[in-house]
Structure 1
Amino acid sequence: MNSLVIDSLSVRYGAASLSLEDVSLTVPQGQIVSLLGPNGAGKSTLMRAVSGLLGVHGGAVASGKVELLGKDVTNDRSSKRVKAGLAQALEGRQVFPGLTVAENLASGGHVRRYRRAQELEVRERVLHHFPRLGDLMARKAGYLSGGEQQMLAIGRAMMSQPKVLLLDEPSLGLAPKIVADVRDVIVDINKEGTSILLVEQNAAMAMAIAHYGYVLEGGRVVKEGKAEDLRGDAEIAELYLGASAVGTAEPAPAVQATGIDTEGAIQHV
Structure 2
Amino acid sequence: MSEPALAVTDLSVRYGAAATALTGIDLMVPRGEIVTLLGPNGAGKSTLMRAVSGLLHVHGGVITSGRVELLGSDVTSDRPAARVRRGLAQALEGRQVFPDLTVAENLAAGGHVRRYRKAQAREALERALSHLPRLHDLMDRKAGYLSGGEQQMLAIGRALMSQPTVLLLDEPSLGLAPKIVETVRDIILDIRDEGTSILLVEQNAAMALSIAQHGYVLESGRIVRSGAAADLRDDDEIAALYLGVSASEGAGSHA
TM-score (norm 2): 0.94
TM superposition shift of 1:121: 2.0
1:8-157 to structure 2, matched below 5 A, reads 8-157=10-159
Richer in helix (by share): 2
- Please state whether the residue corresponding to 1:225 is helix, strand or coil: strand
- Is residue 233 of structure 2 the alignment partner of residue 231 of structure 1? yes
Structure 2: stretches of 5+ with no match in the other structure: 246-255
- Please state whether the residue corresponding to 1:27 is helix, strand or coil: strand
**Among 201, 204, 213, which residue is 2:203 paired with?**
201
TM superposition shift of 1:154: 0.1
Report what 2:251 is aligned to.
Answer: none
Distance 2:126 2:80 in 1: 26
- What is the percentage of aligned positions where both structures have the same residue? 74
TM superposition shift of 1:5: 0.5
TM superposition shift of 1:238: 0.3
Report what 1:181 is aligned to.
Answer: 183
**Among 210, 219, 224, which residue is 1:217 paired with?**
219
1:162-181 to structure 2, matched below 5 A, reads 162-181=164-183
Structure 1: stretches of 5+ with no match in the other structure: 244-269
Higher-RCO chain (CA-CA 8 Å, sequence separation at least 6): 1
Deviates more, 1:109-118 or 1:55-64: 109-118
Task: Return the letter of the residue paired with 2:99.
Answer: P
Task: Return the letter of the residue paired with 1:171.
Answer: S
Distance 1:78 1:125 in 2: 23
TM superposition shift of 1:98: 0.9
Distance 1:124 1:132 in 2: 13
Distance 1:206 1:134 in 2: 27
Task: Return the letter of the residue paired with 1:86.
Answer: L
Task: Return the letter of the residue paired with 1:92.
Answer: G
Distance 1:115 1:65 in 2: 33
Q: Runs ≥4 in structure 1, deviation > 3 angstroms?
A: none
TM-score (norm 1): 0.89
Query: What do you get for the CA RMSD once the two structures are aligned?
Result: 0.8
Distance 2:164 2:191 in 1: 10
- Please state whether the residue corresponding to 1:97 is helix, strand or coil: coil
Task: Return the letter of the residue paired with 1:240.
Answer: Y
TM superposition shift of 1:27: 0.5
Distance 2:58 2:77 in 1: 14
Task: Return the letter of the residue paired with 1:235.
Answer: E
Distance 1:32 1:132 in 2: 23
- Please state whether the residue corresponding to 1:139 is helix, strand or coil: coil
| Aligned positions, number | 243
TM superposition shift of 1:132: 1.2
Q: Deviations over 1:230-258 (max 9, x none)?
A: 00000000000127xxxxxxxxxxxxxxx
